[in-house]
Amino acid sequence: QKTSIQTIGEEQIQNPYTELLVLKGHQDIVRFLVQIDDCRFASAGDDGIVFLWNAQTGEKLLELHGHTQKITAIAPFSSSDASEEKKHLIVTASADRTVIVWDCSTGRQLQKVSCFHSTVKCLTVLQRLDVWLSGGSDLCVWNRKLDLLCKTSHLTDAGISALVELPKNCVATAVGKELIIFRLIASDDESEGWNVQEVKRLADHQDNILSLVSVNDSTFVTGSHVGELIVWDALDWTKQASECNFWDSAVHPDVQPEIKLSQTPNETSVQHLTSDEECVFAAVGKGIYVYNLQMKRVIACQRNAHESSVLHIEKLPNRQLISCSEDGSVRIWELREKQQLPAEPVPTGFFNMWGFGRANRQANQAAKKVQENTPMYFLELVGDLIGHSSAVQMFLYFGELGLATCSADHLIILWKDGERESRLRSLTLFQKLAQNGDLPQLKF
């Protein structure tokens, strides 16, 4: 039985992206995109090179060479010295066990540290404290000059996979199945020194924690490989709510066994989490789920949003959601409210459109569930972007400048609003005409 994936066809009125620019440069999979400022972004990947691009023109601004192996983490870092103008830096970590701080305006290497025992897998900048943290087999705290302020003892060989800042100088780290909370304590002897102290270990997840996201000052969320989503209180680190296997069709007792067999763990793993104030958006397997924090339940989902795993998901300001997947496509969704009378029977076709439709029985199950939850939301596909020939690893939303996507096919594609670009080109054209002084007097 084939799962039906929603398609939109060739007519996409709401899809603004009618122009694309292919940015070539990388020699291997491009895994990371980070925004530097309003019109610049950096890309990094398995070739160990960092490129800086102009998001408007697609111009390659700088090539940063320094790492010998693939880049494992990248974080933008803007210095906020009151005296000088804002300086944009980026920190990159690589599998060659080095971390480099780059100057984005010159492309120079400012600092390089190579005293790590293992690969640094995550980097977090704590702007407030003016320090940054690196997470590998241990957690290190650095100041801006790249002096090691303090470090934890060796935690695990697997290392820290995710790192998020919490209030009260705390950080949450995902180490395997465990969630460890550390607190930074200002050391007494030195003015700049910090000590790091383990505060709590939380072992509620059944499997490795893959994603960790901070929702607001009082909440953060974790997702694991087997599809558990836990909402934590950011202050006392208690479990506020959890959804276990709620998207796993295996929980339904009457599910057909062949489906169960085909259910690989990957299809339920929480690949990526993002959130706004109200909801957490989870990329789980091939699907997208919207979990409402207040209602503490999933309010909308697309079980088969993509043909294969969704790798990255992002919420746009305009109730839209963008997801990218291993199938090489990027899809734009809109979260819409659908007022449904509870008494009205739900036709099966309706669910089919959602991507629920596996079997009638299952649909009925879902229908019952849905009927309880009013108002109803659903994710409507408003457009898809086909350009990459391989998995789209990540994307970066630049507002009206467009969307940058990076992929395993070594390319970065800048998707742009064709109308806007055309208008901008006209503007440039007439500016240039005026400059050249041969503005034609054509007025109609």
Using the rule CB under 8 A, which residue among 158, 185, 251, 386 binds another protein?
Answer: 386
**Min separation Cβ 401 and another protein, Å:** 14
Q: Of 138 and 384, which CB lies nearer to another protein in the complex structure? A: 384
Q: Should residue 440 be labelled a site residue for another protein when binding is judged by CB under 8 A?
A: yes
148 vs 429, beta carbon nearer another protein: 429
Give me the least distance between CB of 20 and another protein, in Å please.
Answer: 5
58 near another protein, rule: CB under 8 A: yes
Distance CA 444, CA 431 (A): 19
| 127 contacts another protein (rule: CB under 8 A) | no
**Could you give the CA distance from residue 424 to residue 99 in angstroms, rounded to a whole number?**
39
Q: Does 20 bind another protein (CB under 8 A)?
A: yes
Q: How far is the CB of 216 from another protein (least distance, A)?
A: 36
Q: Give yes or no for residue 12 binding another protein (CB under 8 A).
A: yes
Cβ neighbours of residue 167 under 8 Å, at least 6 residues apart?
217, 218, 234, 235
Does 433 help bind another protein (rule: CB under 8 A)? yes
For the bound state, the minimum distance from the C-beta of residue 331 to another protein, rounded and expressed in Å, comes to 14
Cβ neighbourhood burial of 65 (10 Å; 0-12, 13-18, 19+): exposed
- Does position 422 interact with another protein (CB under 8 A)? The reply is yes
- The residue type at 378: F
Stretch touching another protein by CB under 8 A, among 69-77, 103-111, 128-136, 432-440: 432-440
Site track for another protein across 313-332, x = CB under 8 A: ---------------x----
Q: How far is CA 333 from the centre of its chain?
A: 16
Q: Which of 360/422 has CB closer to another protein?
A: 422
How many residues in the shown chain lie near another protein by CB under 8 A? 42
Residue 400 within binding range of another protein, rule CB under 8 A: no
| Residues 148-187, mask of contacts with another protein (x by CB under 8 A) | ----------------------------------------
The answer to whether 240 contacts another protein (rule: CB under 8 A) is no
CB of 9 to another protein, least distance (A): 7
**Among 20-28, 39-47, 185-193, 232-240, the segment contacting another protein (CB under 8 A):** 20-28
The residue (of 1 and 428) whose beta carbon lies closer to another protein is: 428
- Which one among 22, 203, 235, 295 touches another protein, defined by CB under 8 A? 22
Nearer to another protein, 55 or 366 (CB): 55
**CA triple 102-108-110, angle to 5 deg:** 55
Binding positions for another protein, 345-384, rule CB under 8 A: 383
In the bound state with another protein, the residue whose beta carbon lies nearer, of 174 and 382, is 382
Under rule CB under 8 A, residue 295 binds another protein: no
Does 54 sit near another protein (CB under 8 A)?
no
Q: Does 25 bind another protein (CB under 8 A)?
A: no
Q: Site residues (CB under 8 A) for another protein?
A: 9-13, 15, 18-22, 24, 57-59, 328, 383, 386-389, 409, 411, 413, 416, 418, 421-423, 425-430, 432-433, 439-440, 442-444
